Amino acid sequence: MSDGRKLKIGIVCPYGWDAPGGVQAHIRDLAEYLISAGHNVSVLAPSQDEDALPAYVVSAGKPIAIPYNGAVARILFGPIAFTRVRHWISEGDFDLLHLHEPAIPSLSLLACWAAEGPMVGTFHAASKRQKAIFAIGPILEPVIEKLSARIAVSEAARMTLTDHLETDAVVIPNGVYTKHFSDGKFRPEWGGNTLGFIGRFEEPRKGLSVLLDALPIVARFVPDVKVFVAGPGERENLMKSVNVQLKDRVTFLGRLSEEEKADFLSSVGVYVAPNTGGESFGIILAEAMSAGTCVVASDIPAFTWMLGNGKYGTNFNSEDAADLARVLIDVLLDNKKRTKLATAGQIHSKIFDWDSVAEQIYSVYEMAIVGNGKVRLSSDTRSWNRFLSKGE
């Protein structure tokens, strides 16, 4: 890191540590990167199983599941959680707090209420105003103003923050260990005219149904096309949604290890991200680009931004299976174009590498620390008391 100073950093994760998710993965990788650089890092997170946590993670209690932004968020809130947050801050003697998603009712918001001093907030969400938990804006705004600095993981996340809370942030993307994916091994059973998908396919917003609806059209023009689906879920549930005549073209791989994922992304002909919304970044796109794979993604704002409006991959009209089929046929039948996009994407993916991302985050830390002393407990709990008095 730039100045060689070793910091005591407290990072707050708003979502259940045990649940798969981009925010948790980002926090895990950031914490481990900072620790490897010699910093003292403690992560506070909700957790179902305290015994399975890494040494640097402190459990704040078991999360509860709520619907949020087209998915299920496992969060932790309330007076008991607030007491645990205050205790963690009091015991931590932190130089700085890094709060992820401090605008939703979970641990990061509680920490922002509980603390004073250097605090950095990272905003991951991209959502429409009427769908967001930002509805408690009048209470949030004075709390968010306590942040010394704000980071958004994409332009879509920055615009969400601006629209909901009328404040701004510097854009620093999520990090990826690009070498891990560029070193993936080609596995011939996944290669050829193949389409790859990784995700919680049972969530409608992940858009697998759009890809499956496009498959009959693609198969007419690319007779040997195959689809490989990886991620959590039940194979039987997936196969129910596949056209009977195309079942032999769809293979469910289940969960992949990190090594298998790198091999998978290095092998498939095209990686397809047909998500219909609710994404602020799309870490899987960065991973696929790092692996040197041609990416085709829906034109939701986060994905259009990540692919440079078509420079580093190809976008199709979101939720339009016919348009997805058109784009897939184009890249599958044009090897030169597919290779050109894959090469451009792999070069572009370097901006997501942790060596670059962590340095940018640390620069924000340095700015937040200047003139702010150390983290300390706040004696002003009026925002918290006001929230409780409303019975929310």
pLDDT (0 to 100) of residue 249: 95
pLDDT (0 to 100) of residue 200: 86
Q: Using an 8 Å Cβ cutoff, are 119 and 147 in contact?
A: yes
Scored b (16 or more CB within 10 A) or e, 90-127 reads eebebbbbbbbbbbbbbbbbbbbbbbbbbbbbbbbbbb
Asked if residue 185 has pLDDT above 50, the reply is yes
Q: Which structure tokens are listed for 282?
A: 């799309």
pLDDT (0 to 100) of residue 131: 46
**Bridge partners of residue 250, in order along the sequence:** 227
Q: Using an 8 Å Cβ cutoff, are 44 and 107 in contact?
A: yes
The CA-based angle 358-361-363, given to 5 degrees, is: 110
pLDDT (0 to 100) of residue 180: 97
Q: Using an 8 Å Cβ cutoff, are 286 and 349 in contact?
A: yes
Please write the tens of the pLDDT for every residue from 23-44.
999 999 999 999 999 999 999 9
Task: Catalogue the E-assigned strands of the chain.
Answer: 8-12, 40-45, 57-59, 64-68, 71-75, 96-100, 115-116, 119-123, 149-152, 170-171, 194-198, 226-230, 250-254, 270-273, 294-298, 314-316, 376-377
In this structure, is the dihedral angle defined by the CA atoms of residues 131, 136, 142 and 143, taken in order, positive or negative? negative
Asked if residue 391 has pLDDT above 50, the reply is no
Mean pLDDT confidence for 358-386: 86
Higher pLDDT, 195 or 162: 195
Mean pLDDT across the chain: 91
Mean pLDDT confidence for 238-266: 92
Q: How far is Cα 338 from Cα 294, in angstroms, rounded to an integer?
A: 6
Domains of the chain: 8-175+354-389 (3.40.50.2000), 178-351 (3.40.50.2000)
Instruction: Please state, in angstroms and as integers, the Cα–Cα distance from residue 373 to each residue in 103, 148, 324, following that order.
Output: 24, 12, 53
| Cβ-based neighbours of 78, under 8 Å, separated by 6 or more | none
Q: Using an 8 Å Cβ cutoff, are 281 and 22 in contact?
A: yes
If we measure between CA atoms, which residue out of 11, 33, 210, 174 comes closest to residue 102?
Answer: 11
In 38-106, which ranges are continuous DSSP H helix? 79-92
| Cβ-based neighbours of 365, under 8 Å, separated by 6 or more | 7, 9, 96, 98, 118, 120
Q: What is the pTM of this model?
A: 0.88
Half-sphere exposure of 11 (CA within 13 A, CB side): 29
Please write the tens of the pLDDT for every residue from 337-350.
999 999 999 999 99
Higher pLDDT, 2 or 233: 233
Please write the tens of the pLDDT for every residue from 278-298.
888 889 999 999 999 999 999
If we measure between CA atoms, which residue out of 121, 118, 159, 117 comes closest to residue 140?
Answer: 121
Q: How far is Cα 137 from Cα 66, in angstroms, rounded to an integer?
A: 19
Higher pLDDT, 114 or 71: 114
Please write the tens of the pLDDT for every residue from 148-181.
999 999 998 999 888 877 889 999 999 999 999 9
Q: Which structure tokens are listed for 73?
A: 């968020």
pLDDT (0 to 100) of residue 128: 62
pLDDT (0 to 100) of residue 70: 63
Q: Using an 8 Å Cβ cutoff, are 1 and 31 in contact?
A: no
Least confident of 104-118, 158-172, 309-323: 158-172
